[in-house]
Structure 1
Amino acid sequence: MKSIWFWLLSLSVALLVWWVSVGGRRETVAQETTPALRAASPMLTRRTNEFDGPPGDLSSIRTDLVATPSRLQVRCLLGGRPSAVLSVALPLSGSFLQARPTNGGLDEGPTITQIDDRHFRVEVRVAEGLAEGTHVGYVELKTCRDEACVDEIPRGTLYVPFEVIVEDPANIALGEWETFQRDAGHTGYVPATFHPRAFAYKWEWQRPTPVTTQGFIHAVSTAPGLVFVSDDGAGLLALRALRENDGGLVWEQTFPNYPALNPPAAANGKVYAATTGHQQTFLWAFHAGTGAPVFQNSFAAQWSDVMAPTIRDGRVYTNGGYYGGGVYAYSDTAGDLQWSMFSGDDEMTTPAVDQSRVYHYDGTALVTYDTATGLKLSSISDPYSPVQGYAHNGAPMLGRADSVTSFSGGTYSIFGSADLSSARPLINFSVANNAARWRTARAYMTQPATAKGIVYAGSNTPKSFDAIDEATGQVLWSWVPQPSDVRFHRNVVVTDNLVFVSTNRVVYALDLATRQPVWSYPAPGTLAISASGTLYIVEGASQSTGRLIAIALK
């Protein structure tokens, strides 16, 4: 019995000695390995247990920060350096925010503006000298308890993915005529070269209208293979999709008992249009190919007319307002109202939009808003004391960096599809300097266009079609038509080699090199050019005739 107890005691001691020795070896291995791993990958050690998604995807790191939008995409031409804005909400009030891009696609040192105790605005800008292609990375947002960021806040770092797409103009697809003056910047610029000898008549279409009804139509917008046209005036109003190749009807949506239907805009497989008139004021969206309704949402207006909505980066914007004017921003897919802001004139305009700002000329000032939140970012007074009515009849036009051109003051048109009742000077603003840069001595009648640092517009006092230096406002050259062309009307469209403008009787194409006409068509009107190279003329110098003419440019 003693031998058994002695054997058990010896076994217990042996096991204890083995456990201590193994435990010591495990501690030694851990102490040796951990510093090595940390030295090789400090991010891995710090972040391994903090990912909501796959380790290595920095955007999935668990964080209490919120940034809007959650991803950035910026498109620009070679040499362009546009900016984009993040709205950032911090988890703790009184914290400090740092921001930096993780690679060279964006400039170092983003501009950080504190809005209140927990909210910041971060503006990033495309880096200089980027090659054509796609440049990706993250914007690192870090919150700290001190300004030097020595004391980081746990779960206080957020990585926002960004994508900068740099395009060579020579390789860009032409793009459709989406809205008023083609794009969200309302430039009227079509990046293409056309040869007048190839121009040919395609077809024409007339609004089907009873004798007792005013048969006006608005300016058009386009999508691949389609052109969209909406009715103006009285009677049963309709929005129609016509085939681009022959003008045949694809679908139509009618709006019985609606006071006004406004011009269409088209993008991302949908066509948008607004109806206006007190309780019947809505923004509508339809499937571009079928005409099936997508959404309908209300906004405020009093018997007003508005221009085509502006579409950019997931939002669709429209002019509106019951007492005074302003801007409404909706989701371009579901139609949810995201924000609305109000200032100045209440009708006949549409905002311009870039990556970070919405631009609204309110009759006496250029006001800008944050695209994501609607936060008012700036207001630059028109220092020339223009006459403010209740209609602007124009839109801000975005040219080169920090250059916004607009009509100075408002004017009236009897119908939404009618031409302007009076001419006005053009005014150019610098948002960076919060100041007006110049104002033209002449008053202009046509909706201007801009490309490559030049603004093009037609004046009737004196009669002159002018090329204006966008930087200084000085006239670079002019063209005067024949005496039979009494007045300029409607809008200007510029391409890489031609500029199109309408007089009271003819649409002209001027060669930008010779500054002389190289083509004309004997019908005046409002102009648009589709991605396939079809020139559309909504006939009518002062008032629409209801006829749409299609000309093949290539």
Structure 2
Amino acid sequence: MQVALLGRTAIGLACLALTACGGGGSGGSGGSSGSGGTTTPPVASVPEVKVLSGGVTRYAAQNSTVAFEVQIKPSFTPAGTLFVNATDKAGVIGTQVGVTASQDGSYVLALETVNGTPAGHYAGDITLKLCADQACATPQAVPSVTVPYDVTVLAYGSAWPGDKLTPLTPWTDVADWNTFQGNAGHTGYVPVEIKPDQLLPRWKTGAASQETVSFYGYAATLVASDGMLYASGDKALKARKEYDGTLAWSYDLSGLPYATVNPPAVASGTVYMAAGAQDSTYMFAFDAATGAVRFKAPMRSQWEHYLAPVALADAVYTNSGTYGGLFAFTNTGEQMFFANVADTSMWSPAADASNLYVYDGGLSVFDRKSGQLQLAIKDANFTNYTYQINGAPVLGAAGNVFAANYANAFLNGGSMGNELLKFNAAKGYVDWRVKGNYPLTPAYAGGVVYAPNTTPYRVEARAEADGALLWSWVPGQASETAWNGEPIVTKNLLFVSSNKATYAVDLRTHKAVWSYPMGGRLALTRSGILYIQNAEALVAFNVK
């Protein structure tokens, strides 16, 4: 059955020329020698092809494609050029197959699902025809092999495919996802490798929050530690079990005169959250296990909202202040300092062992113990139209900080534009800037900045050194026009969330290898769970 592969990023047919090896050697007969001896003919080996990679399991958002690879190893040298095409009874798998030879004699076959496949669950076998010509008129010594597959295609509004509540075994070498974009540097980086076949639905529950914030839209983000997740919304802070999403405890803040809540952070068994407004603004600290209030420290503010604070073992830092500012508290609630910054909100500082980094239209660096200003770098192109930043600085290699005036990306339908900046805090200047429309805090890992852009619409991988574009990726659905969540990067995958779906993009092939038809804020926790949350729902996917 021939199935046309549709979509914006169809896999092209690749092939590899192979030279057939000659057989036989020279010398005497292979049997017994001497008078009356007999000759034993060699036993001919039966050619075979082993499938080294096993079956394929994938989830895919409807109207998009997901790629996967199959590794095979023949016991013979293929004749001429090895061509492969694929068929399956349901027509879910594209016919064209890319072929790449490995040094060990195996071959990696690149396949892709068919764009436009109706929503549903498809399971069966992929037949891989092995040929010596492109038309597949001449078969190889083994004409075909089969590989089992299990593909679930989900449309927006499809029923939840079911809970897979496997035991949770936390990664031992991964830190907690403890603040906005996972860590105090806001890198969104989790140092693990994830197999797309293991991205399976764990549980789904109602929205943590239904609130939106001005230009930022849905602002709630969650954090997790010791098998518990924490999220704020609807005038309460709630703790849920990562195992199944059931409620562990809740703290109601509706008794405050101005009962607003902001996203939490967690560190060393304490959950921190800024709440309230005007003369009733506080930094709350809760026991992470029980929800008991450990302290309630007063702050000042107007009517702003904030991103999650940065919580370390000994202190917590947050955006607040009547005309903007940076508050710092010890882990027992004593105010360490207040630092004046520009009158902006909806940001979180970044932190390392010594300093705090605030992007408020320029970069300000403060000593994290004393609050003394260490360095200020001006962004000459910054204009404050909204009194919101809508993001955080991201710490790269020593002295490098990335940021943008994210709020400008939403003005006048995005026509205002902004710039992605690299600040060199070691030398005190803006090192490079790239024009575009960057609405969200980028992710960073290994010398690469991963930044969603809307002008043009794509996710960009840019070199830390000079901002050069290394590669980019564009979602496949025509209705995708915006980005709904900050990206997350692992050792092998980049998770990105559009207004229609969330994708896992392979860092090597630059192809989507998994997707789910829901966009939102993302988190990847030490328990091995990927979370997607928006104003409709909170969903959890196993990643191991």
TM-score normalized with structure 1 length: 0.63
Counting helix residues as a fraction of each chain, which structure ranks higher? 1
Q: Structure 1 residue 391 and structure 2 residue 388: aligned?
A: yes
* Displacement after TM superposition at 1:361 (Å): 1.1
Structure with bigger gyration radius: 1
Q: Which amino acid in the other structure matches residue 485 of structure 1?
A: E
Matched, 1:436 2:434: no
Higher normalized contact order (CA 8 Å, seq sep 6+, divided by chain length) = 2
1:485-525 Cα shifts (integer Å, max 9, x gaps)? 23222210000000000111110000000011000011111
**Structure 1 equivalent of residue 197 of structure 2:** 197
Aligned equivalents of 1:216, 1:552: Cα separation in 2:
24
**What is the identity percentage for the equivalent residue pairs of Structure 1 and Structure 2?**
38
Q: Quote the offset at 1:431 in angstroms.
A: 1.1
The equivalent residue for 2:316 is 316
Cα deviation digits, residues 83-134 of structure 1 (max 9, x gap)? xxxxxxxxxxxxxxxxxxxxxxxxxxxxxxxxxxxxxxxxxxxxxxxxxxxx
Cross-structure match for 1:485: 480
Q: Is the 8 A contact 2:403 2:441 kept in 1?
A: no
Amino acid at match of 2:309: P
Question: Post-superposition shift, 1:388?
Answer: 5.0
Q: 2:67 matched to which residue of 1?
A: none
Mean CA deviation greater in 485-494 or 174-183: 485-494
Among residues 363, 366, 374, which one is paired with 1:366 in the alignment? 363
Structure 1 residues 451 and 535: CA distance shift in structure 2, 3 A: same
Which of the numbers 454, 460, 473 marks the counterpart of 1:466? 460
How far has the Cα of 1:465 moved from its partner? 1.1
1:274 alignment partner, SS class: strand
Number of residue equivalences: 364
Q: 220, 223, 235: which one pairs with 1:221?
A: 223
Contact kept? 1:283, 1:299, Cα under 8 Å? yes
- Distance, in Å, in 2 between the alignment partners of 1:493 and 1:486 is 19
Residue in 2 that maps onto 1:513: 508
Letter in 2 for 1:340: F
Q: Which amino acid in 1 is paired with 2:400?
A: S
1:60-79 equivalences in 2 (<5 Å) = none
Q: Does 1:425 align with 2:422?
A: no
Runs of 5+ unmatched residues, structure 2: 1-170, 211-216
**CA shift digits 1:402-455 (9 cap, x unpaired):** 1000113644989xxxx9998632111011211000111222123210000000
Task: Give 1:345 deviation, angstroms.
Answer: 3.1
Counterpart in the other structure of 1:134: none
Q: Are residues 303 and 367 of structure 1, via their aligned partners in 2, closer, same or farther at CA, if it must alter by over 3 Å?
A: same
Q: Letter of the aligned partner of 2:357 in structure 1?
A: Y
Aligned to 2:251: 253
- Look up the equivalent residue of 2:238 and give its one-letter code: R
2:390 partner SS = coil
Q: 1:381 aligned to 2:381?
A: no
What code does the residue aligned with 1:328 have? F
Of the candidates 341, 345, 348, which is equivalent to residue 343 of structure 1?
A: 341
Q: Distance in 2 between matches of 1:467 and 1:387?
A: 27
Q: Which residue of 1 aligns with 2:28?
A: none
1:48-127 correspondence runs (5 A)? none
8 Å contact kept, 2:531–2:540: yes
In structure 1, C-alpha distance between the alignment counterparts of 2:274 and 2:519, rounded to whole Å: 26
Matched, 1:553 2:522: no
CA contact (8 A) 2:268 2:313 kept: no
2: distance between equivalents of 1:178 and 1:195? 24
Distance 1:445 1:197 in 2: 31
Cα distance in structure 2, aligned partners of 1:491 and 1:397: 12
Q: Equivalent residue for 2:291?
A: 291
Q: 1:465 to 1:379 in 2, by over 3 A?
A: same
1:420/1:493 CA distance change after superposition, 3 Å:
farther
Q: Which secondary structure does the structure 2 equivalent of 1:393 belong to?
A: strand
Query: Measured at CA, do residues 420 and 246 of structure 1 come closer, stay the same or move farther in structure 2, by a change above 3 Å?
Result: farther
State how far apart, in whole Å, the 1-side matches of 2:465 and 2:314 are. 31
Mapped pair 1:263 → 2:258: no
What is residue 446 of structure 1 aligned with on the other side?
440
Stretches (4+) displaced over 4 A: 207-210, 409-414, 419-423
Query: What does residue 108 of structure 1 align with?
Result: none
Other structure's SS at 1:181 match: helix
Which string of whole-angstrom CA distances, capped at 9 and with x for unpartnered residues, describes residues 310-355 of structure 1? 02251100001102x22111002x1100111011133101110111
- In structure 1, the partner of 2:330 is 331
Contact 1:345–1:392 (CA under 8 A) maintained in structure 2: no
- The answer to whether the 8 Å contact 2:390/2:440 transfers is no
Q: Render the CA deviation track for 1:11-56: whole Å, top value 9, x for unaligned.
A: xxxxxxxxxxxxxxxxxxxxxxxxxxxxxxxxxxxxxxxxxxxxxx
Give the structure 2 partner of residue 357 of structure 1. 355
How many Å separate the matches in 1 of 2:222 and 2:409? 21
SS in 2 for 1:338: strand
The corresponding residue for 2:242 is: 244
Equivalent in the alignment of 1:538 = 533
8 Å Cα contact 2:208-2:538 kept in structure 1:
no
Distance in 2 between the 1:548 and 1:409 partners? 25
TM-score w.r.t. length of structure 2: 0.64
CA displacement at 1:384 relative to structure 2: 2.2
2:406–2:438 contact (8 Å) kept in structure 1: no
Counterpart-to-counterpart distance in 1, 2:229 and 2:382: 40
- SS class of match (2:503): strand
- Verify the 8 A CA contact 1:393 1:413 in the aligned structure 2: no
* CA-to-aligned-CA distance 1:342-393 (integer Å, 9 cap, x gap): 1113310111011111111122x10111111111111000132434531111
Q: Residues 452 and 172 (structure 1 numbering): CA distance in 2 closer, same or farther, change over 3 Å? A: farther
Residues 207, 479 of structure 1: alpha-carbon distance in 2 compared, 3 angstrom cutoff:
closer
d(CA) in 2 for partners of 1:444 and 1:409? Answer: 6
The offset of 1:277, in angstroms, is 1.1
* Equivalent-residue separation in structure 1 for 2:409 and 2:278 (angstroms): 20
Tell me: CA distance 1:523–1:404, structure 2 relative to 1, closer, same or farther (3 Å).
same
CA contact (8 A) 2:452 2:459 kept: yes
**What secondary structure does 2:192 align onto?**
coil
| Structure 1 residues 422 and 328: alpha-carbon distance in aligned structure 2, compared to 1, 3 A threshold | farther
Q: Describe the shift of the 1:412–1:474 C-alpha distance in structure 2 as closer, same or farther (beyond 3 A).
A: closer
Q: Deviations over 1:510-547 (max 9, x none)?
A: 000001100001111100011011001012xxxx23x1
Cα 1:208–1:199 shift into 2, 3 Å: closer
Which of the residues 220, 229, 232 maps onto 1:230? 232
For 2:252 and 2:237, the matched residues in 1 are separated by: 6
Partner AA of 1:306 in structure 2:
Y
Q: In structure 2, how many angstroms separate the alpha carbons of the residues matched to 1:442 and 1:476?
A: 16
